[in-house]
Amino acid sequence: MSIFIIAEIGINHNGSLDIVKQLIDVAKDSGADAVKFQKRTVDLVYTKEILDSARESPWGTTQRHQKEGLELTSDDYKQIDQYCREKKIEWLASSWDMESQTFLRQFNLNYNKIASAMIVYEPLLHMVAAEKKHTFISTGMSKPEQIDRAVRIFTEANCSFELMHCISTYPMTDEDANLNRIHTLRARYGCKVGYSGHEVGLAVSYAAAAMGISSLERHITLDRAMYGSDQSASVEPAGFRQLVGAVRKIEKAMGDGSLEMHPKEVSVAAKLRSHLPLESQY
């Protein structure tokens, strides 16, 4: 089955619907299966103390200015929904609070996403699992017992899910990738396992693609030099097109593992072994 490739727009749009549409175009033109956003209700996710604290950004001088500047409006999401339908690409979002999850329900999306930060938020897990939509669950910053609990919630709700191996550093250094955890997760939970990467470059994602992952998520950006905490861990358009193309080649190259001689080798073997006794050739 083909790897489901998610282009994580996240908050790299910087509150601009024009940038959103450009990134959707990049994802679609590259051959991704879906784009993903992050949805927050600012006053629920952050305390008043944090929101009132100082932070310089393009939107002002407080954390509130910055957080609200990065949030898309209800009308923005309606336009995103329409644009993705026109482009024939799936979209989904990770909610950081229950109000945001309720908001997303109006769009009747085909997929849900649990962000690594939210895998410990049991009320949200129960709420998402109750929707019974296939859910991607990122496992960054998680202890085994926290993953156990999330898996149990989705299993008991009879909600289709897959785990996504993730190291939540931005950017992640290659030596921290621990890709063998993909095998560990698959063996421990008996489920599909994907990879959500925050590394610089593409090599680690290529390696993950060769390990039988079911999904691959990478942040995308128009320019890694743009404002934003996720930009440095993101892939620019040319790199993302290269990534998707290479992953599709890797999928084909993996084959079925058969030990039988490939049919295309038969004539080559006959030519290169023609000097051998006939009984040695077969």
Structural domains for the chain? 4-281 (3.20.20.70)
The residue-averaged pLDDT of 262-272 equals: 94
DSSP code string of 20-47: HHHHHHHHHHHT-SEEEEEE--HHHHS-
Are residues 22 and 74 in contact, defined by beta-carbon separation less than 8 angstroms?
A: no
DSSP 89: -
CA angle, corner 242, sides to 238 and 245, nearest 5?
140
Is the pLDDT score of 242 beyond 80? yes
Rg of the chain over Cα atoms, rounded to whole angstroms, equals 22
Alpha-carbon span 70 to 16, nearest angstrom: 8
pLDDT band at 280 (very low <50, low <70, confident <90, very high): confident
Tokens of 134: 């296939």
Mean pLDDT, the chain, integer: 97
What local confidence, expressed as pLDDT, does residue 282 receive? 64
What local confidence, expressed as pLDDT, does residue 152 receive? 98
Beta-carbon contacts of residue 107 (< 8 Å; ≥ 6 apart): 77, 81
What local confidence, expressed as pLDDT, does residue 263 receive? 95
Number of neighbours of residue 174 by Cβ within 10 angstroms: 13
Alpha-carbon span 51 to 48, nearest angstrom: 5
Is the pLDDT score of 132 beyond 70? yes
What local confidence, expressed as pLDDT, does residue 187 receive? 98
**Residue whose pair of structure tokens reads 């072994």 in the numeric block:** 273
What local confidence, expressed as pLDDT, does residue 34 receive? 98
pLDDT band at 62 (very low <50, low <70, confident <90, very high): very high
Which of the residue ranges 38-47, 168-177, 231-240, 273-282 would you say has the lowest mean pLDDT? 273-282
Is the pLDDT score of 138 beyond 90? yes
Strand 54-57, strand 60-62: pairing = antiparallel
Cite the DSSP H helix spans in 131-236: 144-156, 181-189, 203-209
Alpha-carbon span 6 to 36, nearest angstrom: 7
The residue-averaged pLDDT of 71-92 equals: 98
The residue-averaged pLDDT of 186-200 equals: 98
Are residues 195 and 214 in contact, defined by beta-carbon separation less than 8 angstroms?
A: no
Tokens of 187: 């063996």
What local confidence, expressed as pLDDT, does residue 177 receive? 98
Nearest to 55 by CA among 47, 45, 67, 43: 67
What is the share, in percent, of the chain residues with pLDDT greater than 90? 97
Summarize pLDDT for 89-113 with one digit per residue, the tens: 999 999 999 999 999 999 999 999 9
Are residues 235 and 242 in contact, defined by beta-carbon separation less than 8 angstroms?
A: no
What is the share, in percent, of the chain residues with pLDDT greater than 70? 99
The residue-averaged pLDDT of 239-247 equals: 98
Cite the DSSP H helix spans in the chain: 17-30, 42-45, 48-52, 63-69, 74-87, 98-104, 122-130, 144-156, 181-189, 203-209, 237-254, 266-272, 278-281
The residue-averaged pLDDT of 51-63 equals: 98
Is the pLDDT score of 150 beyond 70? yes
The residue-averaged pLDDT of 52-74 equals: 98
Instruction: Identify residue 17 by its one-letter amino acid code.
Output: L
pLDDT band at 278 (very low <50, low <70, confident <90, very high): confident
